[in-house]
Amino acid sequence: MSEYRGYEGDSLEFLKTNQISVGDSVTIIADINYSGMIMPRYEHSDDKHIVLKLKSGYNVGLEIEKIEKIEKNQTTEKIIEKDEKIEKIEGLPKILLLSTGGTIASKIDYRTGAVTPVLTADELNSSVPELAKIANIDAEVLFSEYSENIMPEHWLKIAEKINEYSKSEYAGIIVAHGTDTMHYTSSFLSFALAGFPIPIVLVGSQRSSDRASSDAAVNLIGATKFITKSNTKGVYIVMHQDENDDTVACHIGTRVRKNHTSKRGAFQTIGDLPAFIITGNEIQKNTKNFFKINEYQPRIYLNTKIALVKYHPGYDPRLLDQIIEAGYNGIIFEGTGLGHVGKTMYETVKKAYKKGIFLGMTSQCIDGRVRMTVYESGRDLLDLGIIPLENMIPETALVKAMWITGNSQDRDEIKKIMLENIASELTN
């Protein structure tokens, strides 16, 4: 790793002239005085600025022409952190942490100045020391991917790994995951591992742990407390309830969406309160609508030939033709209101049904239930073979259809299972 990573041209020459490299702690005199650490830059950045991480955890870009003076405070070696060795406490429950690349607990790498994920039990313990008093944590890395790069093949790998521990002594399993697509992964695990004997909890962080407002440690502590105290099973997402550090929400994995781009309380249970609220050492149970399957019979298969179609005024039916011609096995419509698409779609919908493609209807509305018998247009779509999926979240319906068609190609069976409440994906 270069000690000048991301710097080139004028900015690189500036650092070399002043004998400064990435990871050095410096004081800079410019329009005001700054103290912090030199950070690496994005490889396509300009060469007129350097990046400084302030003690507050925020980064600032400083134009080199406006810097009057820069002084090194200490060498990189003097501020390298040392990991503390875990001392496991006999009698505490055991928890397995599987890392997929989401930032649950991370720290500064003072060689590069980058924020790196915590990947070992020892690093985890030193970053979030409160965990060692709650449970004995074992950590394992599955892969390291940004959330947007998590694909259905990654869901399979996660499920297969978790399945290996179905008869283990662990009290529960935590999956560290990026937030943007976490609810897709939680949905697949909910179906593929229905009936798993211990809780599976996905945890992420809206803000990296080098920021003062990070939610990483609080979310992880909340997930650990939930596993050790809730006496339940199923697949959940645990994240901040709101901007308050005192409260963490535990959402059923098939009934949750990320509804804000950056707030710490971005995740919300759709149509209900979160299943549990964790405040301090207290766990409040809010719902009786939990998982229906008691016997564990993993079905870790999927088929990606399912499309999620968001209807809008002006939607070109020829796009639906392309999905049909590409050999897709199912289409989940995200329709308007109670579950409608425009009449310009009818002929193509009829063609899809004749091809044996499963057709399901969800709503673009955040809350509420699909009711296709209220208006004539809805009844027309029912006659064309579209199945109303009650109040299933569109993303959950997509994943469920991927899972079902990976296990069966019979359209009647697919319809039956799509309407069967397996993992609380449907609520009253």
Q: Which residues pair with 284 in a beta bridge?
A: 277
Q: Which two tokens stand for residue 188?
A: 């697949």
**Residue 215 is among the residues annotated as catalytic for this protein:** no
59 strand-pairing partners? 53
Q: At what angle do helices 376-383 and 346-354 cross, to 10 degrees?
A: 30
The catalytic residue among 76, 100, 103, 232 is 103
Two tokens, residue 117: 């994920």
- Per 3-state DSSP, what percentage of the chain is helix, strand, and coil (rounded to 5)? 30, 25, 50
What phi, psi does 36 have (nearest 5°)?
170, -160
Query: What distance in Å separates the CA atoms of residue 163 and residue 131, rounded to the nearest whole number?
Result: 24
Q: DSSP string covering 228-257, please?
A: HHS---SEEEEEESSS-TTEEEEEETTSEE
Q: Choose the catalytic residue: 53, 225, 233, 258.
A: 258
* Location of structure tokens 């090194």: 72
* Among 216, 207, 169, 165, residue whose Cα is nearest residue 189: 165
Instruction: Answer yes or no: 138 catalytic.
Output: no
For residues 331 and 230, give the distance between their C-alpha atoms in angstroms, rounded to a whole number: 37
258 is a catalytic site residue: yes
Catalytic residue, from 10, 109, 138, 180: name it: 180
Whether 254 sits among the annotated catalytic residues: the reply is: no
CA 223/CA 233 separation, integer angstroms: 13
Query: Would you give the distance in Å from CA 156 to the centre of its chain?
Result: 15
State the catalytic residues.
103, 179-180, 258
